[in-house]
Structure 1
Amino acid sequence: MNPVIHKTLRLLAELAVLLGLFLLGGQLAAWFGWPIPGGVMGLALLLVLFATGAVKPATLQRGAGLLMAEMLLFFIPALMSLLDYGSLLRSEGWRILLVIALSTLLVMVVTAVTVELVCRWRLRHEP
């Protein structure tokens, strides 16, 4: 098979798996009545698949890489909707920015601490 066609088909298959997990996550959240977005549920399902070894992270690397490279496109609709709320941003904008800044900082700190703890744990448990 042509290598270009093979890579394209593999990329499409990986994207289909990721989309399927997203849709399944949304469906599970709807079935259980949980107020959790489908994307978060899909990521939880993906984590379970990775943790159990059912799927290797390298299996979805191309599809995830493409989505990560184009991530900015996913935020454009949210940014454009801010134009509808100009008065809210003028009156409460500083509070919104404060929440965004603090939550971003918190995510970065928790991620760094988690990575550090996992690295230390792996070093202790290496053969």
Structure 2
Amino acid sequence: MTAVSFKKFSRLLAELGVLLVLYLLGCQLSAWLHWPIPGGVVGMALLLLVFATGRVKPATLQTGATLLMAEMLLFFIPALMSLLDYGPLLRSEGWRILLVIGASTLLVMLATAFTVEWACRWRLRHDA
């Protein structure tokens, strides 16, 4: 292993370590405070807080985040495989499940779009 590739690999591990620590901290915080919010969501809020305060720039964690996004399918395979155990449920209630998934996906996309639009307009007003 060359010095350059070792440096890149160690940086990748450090970035993944930071993301893992924020995730675990979010899980602990959610458990300690008895919040009904998953720890991963709390961890993402902590990451957003760290970015918003300027302590860490988003580009600093880009390599680790890119790797996780590229391998995201691996995180969903166990959930997809567990669906095989619920064949009769999916045959009888599958359309309702798909309707809920579709509606919730649409609502999340709309909420995200409106939030981004609002944030961009707010920033343009305050930067000018």
* Shorter-chain TM band: over 0.9
Partner of 2:85: 84
Residues in 2 aligned to 1:33 and 1:102: alpha-carbon distance in whole angstroms: 28
> Is residue 65 from structure 1 mapped to residue 66 from structure 2 by the alignment?
yes
Residues in 1 aligned to 2:121 and 2:30: alpha-carbon distance in whole angstroms: 35
Q: Which runs of 5+ in 2 are unaligned?
A: none
Partner of 2:34: 33
Counterpart of 2:7, as a letter, is H
Deviation track 1:37-90 (CA, whole Å, cap 9, x = no partner) reads 221111111111111112111111110111011111111111111111111111
Counterpart of 1:38, as a letter, is G
Residues in 2 aligned to 1:75 and 1:98: alpha-carbon distance in whole angstroms: 20
Q: TM-score, normalised by structure 1?
A: 0.93
Segment of structure 1 superposing worse, 1-10 or 65-74: 1-10
Partner of 2:52: 51
Q: How many residues align?
A: 127
Q: How does 1:5-44 map to 2 (within 5 A)?
A: 5-44=6-45
Q: TM-score, normalised by structure 2?
A: 0.92
Residues in 1 aligned to 2:72 and 2:105: alpha-carbon distance in whole angstroms: 17
Percent identity for Structure 1 against Structure 2: 75
Deviation track 1:63-122 (CA, whole Å, cap 9, x = no partner) reads 011101111111111111111111111111000000000111111111111111122222
Counterpart of 1:76, as a letter, is I
